[in-house]
Structure 1
Amino acid sequence: MTSNFSRRTLLRASALTVLGGSLSTLEPSSLRAETDQPVDADLLLQGGTLYDGSGSEGLVGDVAIAGERIVAVGRFETGRVGRTIDCRGLIVAPGFIDLHSHSDHQILKPELRGNPCRLMDGCTTVVTGNCGVGQLDVAKFHAQLDENGAGTNIVHLMPHGRVRGAVMGTVDRRPTPDELDRMRRMIDEGMQAGAWGMSTGLIYLPGVYADTDELVELTKVVARHGGIYASHIRGEEDQLLTAVAEAIEIGRRAGAPVHISHFKANGLPNWGKIRDAAALIEKARADGQKVTADQYPYDACSTWILPILLPVDETPGGYENLLERMKADPELDQTVRNVIRRQLGRTRNVLIAQCEIETYRNRMIADIASAENRDQVEVVIDLIAAGKTRGINFSMSEDDVRYGMSLPWVGMGSDGEGVLAAPNGQGHPRAMGTFARKIGRYAIEERVISLAHAIRSASGLAADIMGLDDRGYLRPGYLADITVFDPATYRDQATYDNPLVYSTGVRHVLLAGNLALAEGTLNERLFGRALLRPTKRMGGGQ
C-alpha cells in the first residue's frame, strides 16, 4: 500500500470552473501521491476530478482500489491493474451518506431492499431509526440485513419512541423508576448490538410526553457507548429556539454529541429564525460541545396530517377517539377547529401526498375546499377521519434553506423512505433527489455554495458526525465507498407533481470496491451491509 499523501505537495489551481451553469475543466491541477513504487490495483478510477470529502477543491487524479479499500489517490505509477474506468470529465467523490432516512422497513422488503432511490442519488450509506421510530430489535435488524443483503450500507439508531412505547404505551406522564430502568436496559442492549446512538421524535406519540430529564438519563446510556443523540426536536415553529436549547442541554448533561434532524424554521411567522437557532448551536460549539445538524434542500416538509395541522400537545386528551370526543364536547370541537385554522394560516398550502380518499390525492387542501365550496377546516377533519393521511407542508423559506446549507456543520438527510420509481406516484421528492438537488442545483448551477462544500456535507462531514472512521473520504486505507457523477447531468428529476423519479448523472457507485451501479445501471447483486458501531467510538465530529 502506498503511504499517505499530503496536500502540501499539490499544485494550487482551480480544477473546475463554472461557465453558463455547467462545469468545465480549465488546466486542472494534479493530485500527486507520495509514492515512487508502482501501485497494483483491482480497479483504477482514472483521470477524474477528485473531491476527497475534506472540503478542499477538486484536483485531477486517479484512485486505485485493491479489494475493499483505497490504496492510492492522486498521480502515481501503476503496476498490475485488473480494470480501468475512464473518469475524465467526471467527479469522483466519497460515497454519500444520508444522515436521516426512514427506509427501516422498506430495506427489508424483497422489492425494495436494493434501495435504488439512494444509489441513483449517489448514496452508499443511510442512517435509519430516526425520529424515534424504526426497528427496535437492533440485533435482529442487523441479522436480517446481512442475511438478505441491501443496496446500501445501513447505520442504525435506537428509536426512543419505540422504546418508550414498548415500556409505557402512549401515556402522558413521567416514567416510574422501574420503567426508566427498563428503557435504559433496552437502549443498552441496542447499543451493545451495534446501534450508533439514540433518536427522538418529540412531536410524535409517545416521544412528545418525554421530559428533558428522561431524555438526559437515557442519553447517558448512549454516551457510555460512544453514541450520539439525534433529535427531531420538540418544535420547529414558535418553539424552535427553546427546542434547540433543550437538545443542546440534553447533550451537555448526558455527555453525548447532539445532532439536530432536518434543521429548519417552520411556519410563515418563523421565517428567518433559523439564524437565531444557528447562533445557539454555534455558541455551544464555541464552548466545546459537539453539535451538528442535517437538512434536506426543499422548502416543504412532510409528515402525517395530524402533526402538521393539529399538534398533539395542543389537542386536549390527545388523538385517541378524537372525532367521537369532538362530537360529544362542543368546547373541544371548537378548540380543535381553532388550532387547525391557525395552522392553515401559517403555511402557503398543504399538498395531500397520501390519503384514503382517492379524489383528494396529489391535491392542495385549499384547492379541494374551493372546488367543493367548503371551509378548509372541514376538509381537514374529513382527512383526519379517513386516516393514513400524509401531507406536504409548504411552510418553509427558500432563503432559510439556502442559509442552512451554507453552514459548515450541516450535513445532508433525505428524510425519505425507500421507494421505487413510478409514474404519477405519491410522496415527497426528497426521497429521490436530495443529494442531486443540493449538489447539482444549488452548488453547480446556482453556486449558492461551493461544490467542495456540498460534497463535504454529503461525505466527510457526515462520516465525522456518525463516527465512521474509515468512510467519507478518498484516502488510502479507507473503504472504497465511492460515487462518480457527471457534473453536467447530475440533477434531481423528482418534483412535487411527479415525485418518484430517479436522479440523473450518477455514473458509478462503489460499495467496498464493488460496483453497485455501473454506467448508470444498477447491479442485481447487493453489496450493502449493516455497519455496527465499534465499542466506545465517539461520533459527533465537526
Structure 2
Amino acid sequence: MRSAAAALVLCFTSSAAVPAADPNTPDTSTIFRAATVYDGTGGKPFVADVHVKGDKIAAIGTVGKVDGATEVSAEGLVICPGFIDLHTHCDYGLGGKTGRLNKNYVTQGCTTVVTGNCGSGPVNAAAYLQSLEAGGVGTNVIHLAPHNDIRQSAMGNANRPPTAEELKKMEALVERAMKDGTWGLATGLIYNPGTYAKTDEIIALARVAARHGGLYASHIRNESGGLLDAIDEAITIGKESGCRVHISHIKASGKSAWGTSGRAVGLIETARKNGQTVTADQYPYTASSTSLRATLVPSKYREGSNKEFVARLDDPTTGPKLKTDVEKALGTEGAKRIQIARYAPNPKWQGKTIAVIAADEKREPIDIVLEIERNGGAQIVNFGMSEDDVRVYMKQPWVATASDGSVQAPGDTVPHPRSYGTFPRKIGYYAIEEKIVPLADAIRSSTGLPADILKLKDRGYLKVGYFADVVVFDPKTFRDAATFAKPHQYAAGVKWVLVNGHAAIEGGAYKEVAGGRVLRHPAK
C-alpha cells in the first residue's frame, strides 16, 4: 500500500535561475512504476512511482501519464540512490581504455567512487580530473589529496621529519589540490613514505584541508595490536586541525586484536559525544588486501628504492636482521592466511597461500616471501579478521559501506572479491539474508551516510531535484557472486543503474555508457 506521503506527486520546480544543462545530460524520461522506495535516509520504505527526466529525479509519488516517457514495471523491486563508495583505489584504472567505464562497480549498483585513498593517487588533481572528463567515465569520481604521494613529491621516500621548506611545499600541494576540487586529505600510515610522518606533520596538512571544508580520511597507523592508539591519533589530528575525521576500512586485524572492536567503537563514540565529527567505513569481509611488503616488512627497512631494499637483504649485517624481523611478522600462522593475489614474475603462485607455495616448492615460507620481495613484491589477500568484529562495526550508524577495491577486469589474477561484490554482499547477504542490519540501514550506509560524510549535495538520496544516480534491484537475487577462489564474477540481481540519468544497466543488461562526472569540491 502506498503511504499518504507517497501519494502526493513531488515535482521539481524552482524560481531561482536555472544553470545551463550539462552537455552530457541525457534526453530521456523514465517512470519506474510501483517500486519499493528506500530513499537513503534509513526510514521506512514505501511504494511509489519514480520519474527520472534527464539527469534529475523529477517526481516521486503517484505519477500520471507523461508524454514520451518510458514506463518500467518495478513492482517487487527496490529502488534507491546509487551507491557511493568512499574508499576505492580506482585512480589509475579509470584512466585506461578498458577501465574507464568501471564495470565492476556499476554492476554492483555503485555510481560514485572516491579516489586518492590511503594517501596514494595523483597529486596534480586538476590534470587528473581533466583527463577523466576528457576520456569519459562510467561512474562519478571524487578525489582526495593523497598524503603519501604529496610527501614523495616534496622529500622522496625518506625516513625523517620534513624540513621547514619541505613542509611548506607539502602544505602548498594540499592547498593547490583543495583549490582544484579535492574533498579532503587522505593518509595511509602503514605505507611509504607516509609511515614516516609524525602526528604534527599530518596535523599541519590537515589544517590546510580544514580551511577549505575538507575532511581527513585515514588508513590509520595500526589496525591490529595498536588499533586503539591509532584511532586516538586520528581523533587527535581531527581535534587539532579542525578537520572532520573519517577512519578508512575500520577493522581489528590479527588474532591479537580480535575482540577489540567494542573498545574501538567506544573511543569513537566518546569523541562524537564530545562534539567531534568522526565516522568510518568498512568492507563486509573477514579478509583484507594490500602489499606483501606493507604486511610483513617493518617500515625501517622500506626507506628509499626497491634497489636499496634488495641491497639491505644482501648486506651481511642488515640482511639477517631483516630476515629475522620478517619471519617474526610472518609468525606461525601467517603463511597459511596470506594468499597471493597478483605476482607477475610467477602467475602460477596467484591464488595460493604462502604455505601451499612453500610446500609445492619444498622451501621455507620465509624464503618464498623474500624471493617475492626481491622481485618487487606482490599484492596479497590476508585472512586476518573475525566475523564477530566485522558485525560489531557493521551495526554502527556512523559506519559507511566501502570496498577498498579497484578497477578490475577478468584475468588470471586472484584479487580480493570486494572489487566486485561489496555492496551486494552488505545488502543482499548481511541485511536481507542474515538480518544483521535492517535493509534500510544497509542502504543508508551505502548512500545517504557517505553523502553526509562528504557533505555532498544533491546526491545520496532519492529526492526530487537530486541527480538521478539510481539503482533498481531485485531483493530476492541481489547477491555477490565473487569469491576468494573466483573473484572475477559480476554481481547478480541489478535491474537498472542510472548514472546522472544515463542507463548503464537497463533491464538487467549492462551497457557501455560513460555517464559519470567529475565532482569537484566547492573551492573556498
TM band (smaller chain):
over 0.9
Structure 1 residue 171, shift from structure 2 partner: 0.9
The CA distance in 2 between the partners of 1:317 and 1:420, in whole Å, is 32
What residue identity is the alignment partner of 1:63? Answer: V
The equivalent residue for 1:117 is: 104
Structure 1 residue 312, shift from structure 2 partner: 1.4
Alpha carbons 1:309, 1:344 under 8 Å: kept? no
The equivalent residue for 2:170 is: 183
The equivalent residue for 1:407 is: 396
The equivalent residue for 2:113 is: 126
Structure 1 residue 179, shift from structure 2 partner: 1.1
2:69 is paired with a residue whose SS is: strand
Equivalent in 403, 407, 411 of residue 418 of structure 1 = 407
The CA distance in 1 between the partners of 2:240 and 2:406, in whole Å, is 32
The equivalent residue for 1:82 is: 69
Alpha carbons 1:121, 1:503 under 8 Å: kept? yes
Structure 1 residue 122, shift from structure 2 partner: 0.4
Query: CA 1:37 to 1:358, structure 2 compared with 1: closer, same or farther past 3 Å?
Result: closer
Structure 1 residue 62, shift from structure 2 partner: 1.2
The CA distance in 1 between the partners of 2:135 and 2:210, in whole Å, is 31
Structure 1 residue 242, shift from structure 2 partner: 0.8
Equivalent in 422, 429, 448 of residue 436 of structure 2 = 448
The CA distance in 2 between the partners of 1:524 and 1:507, in whole Å, is 15
Alpha carbons 2:2, 2:48 under 8 Å: kept? no
- Map 1:60-459; keep pairs closer than 5 Å: 60-80=47-67, 82-313=69-300, 321-330=308-317, 332-345=319-332, 347=334, 349-355=337-343, 356-422=345-411, 424-459=412-447
What residue identity is the alignment partner of 1:452? Answer: A
Structure 1 residue 321, shift from structure 2 partner: 2.6
1:400 is paired with a residue whose SS is: helix
Q: Which moved more, 1:347-356 or 1:470-479?
A: 347-356
Structure 1 residue 319, shift from structure 2 partner: 6.5
The equivalent residue for 1:3 is: none
The CA distance in 1 between the partners of 2:306 and 2:155, in whole Å, is 17
The CA distance in 1 between the partners of 2:239 and 2:58, in whole Å, is 39
Alpha carbons 1:427, 1:499 under 8 Å: kept? yes
The CA distance in 2 between the partners of 1:267 and 1:36, in whole Å, is 50
Alpha carbons 1:315, 1:336 under 8 Å: kept? no
Structure 1 residue 310, shift from structure 2 partner: 1.7
Q: TM-score, normalised by structure 2?
A: 0.93
Structure 1 residue 265, shift from structure 2 partner: 0.8
What residue identity is the alignment partner of 1:142? Answer: L
The equivalent residue for 1:526 is: 514
The equivalent residue for 2:21 is: none
The CA distance in 2 between the partners of 1:380 and 1:38, in whole Å, is 59
Query: CA 1:346 to 1:408, structure 2 compared with 1: closer, same or farther past 3 Å?
Result: farther
The CA distance in 2 between the partners of 1:241 and 1:38, in whole Å, is 47
The equivalent residue for 1:9 is: none
Equivalent in 506, 511, 534 of residue 499 of structure 2 = 511
The CA distance in 2 between the partners of 1:425 and 1:328, in whole Å, is 33
The CA distance in 2 between the partners of 1:134 and 1:317, in whole Å, is 19
1:179 is paired with a residue whose SS is: helix
Equivalent in 44, 49, 62 of residue 57 of structure 1 = 44
The CA distance in 2 between the partners of 1:318 and 1:488, in whole Å, is 51
The CA distance in 2 between the partners of 1:507 and 1:145, in whole Å, is 27
Alpha carbons 2:280, 2:400 under 8 Å: kept? yes
The CA distance in 2 between the partners of 1:314 and 1:399, in whole Å, is 34
Alpha carbons 2:55, 2:467 under 8 Å: kept? yes
The equivalent residue for 1:12 is: none
1:178 is paired with a residue whose SS is: helix
Structure 1 residue 177, shift from structure 2 partner: 1.3
Alpha carbons 2:12, 2:58 under 8 Å: kept? no
Query: CA 1:104 to 1:47, structure 2 compared with 1: closer, same or farther past 3 Å?
Result: same
Structure 1 residue 313, shift from structure 2 partner: 4.3
Equivalent in 434, 455, 458 of residue 467 of structure 1 = 455
The CA distance in 2 between the partners of 1:378 and 1:407, in whole Å, is 42
2:187 is paired with a residue whose SS is: strand
Alpha carbons 1:31, 1:73 under 8 Å: kept? no
Q: Which moved more, 1:345-354 or 1:514-523?
A: 345-354
The CA distance in 2 between the partners of 1:460 and 1:38, in whole Å, is 20
Alpha carbons 2:89, 2:407 under 8 Å: kept? yes
The CA distance in 1 between the partners of 2:488 and 2:321, in whole Å, is 38
Structure 1 residue 388, shift from structure 2 partner: 3.5
Structure 1 residue 99, shift from structure 2 partner: 0.7
Structure 1 residue 295, shift from structure 2 partner: 0.6
Query: CA 1:386 to 1:494, structure 2 compared with 1: closer, same or farther past 3 Å?
Result: same
Q: TM-score, normalised by structure 1?
A: 0.90
Alpha carbons 2:298, 2:325 under 8 Å: kept? no
The equivalent residue for 1:484 is: 472
Alpha carbons 1:183, 1:218 under 8 Å: kept? yes
Q: Is 1:46 aligned to residue 33 of structure 2?
A: yes
The CA distance in 2 between the partners of 1:245 and 1:318, in whole Å, is 31
Alpha carbons 1:169, 1:206 under 8 Å: kept? yes
Structure 1 residue 278, shift from structure 2 partner: 1.3
Structure 1 residue 332, shift from structure 2 partner: 4.4
1:282-324 superposed Cα distances (whole Å, 9 cap, x missing partner): 1111111111111111111111101112231477999663343
The CA distance in 1 between the partners of 2:246 and 2:464, in whole Å, is 28
Structure 1 residue 345, shift from structure 2 partner: 3.4
**Cα RMSD for the two superposed structures:** 2.1
Structure 1 residue 112, shift from structure 2 partner: 0.9
5+ unaligned residues in a row in structure 2: which ranges? 14-27
Alpha carbons 1:157, 1:196 under 8 Å: kept? yes
Q: Which moved more, 1:326-335 or 1:470-479?
A: 326-335
Query: CA 1:448 to 1:340, structure 2 compared with 1: closer, same or farther past 3 Å?
Result: same
What residue identity is the alignment partner of 2:6? Answer: R
The count of aligned residue pairs is 508
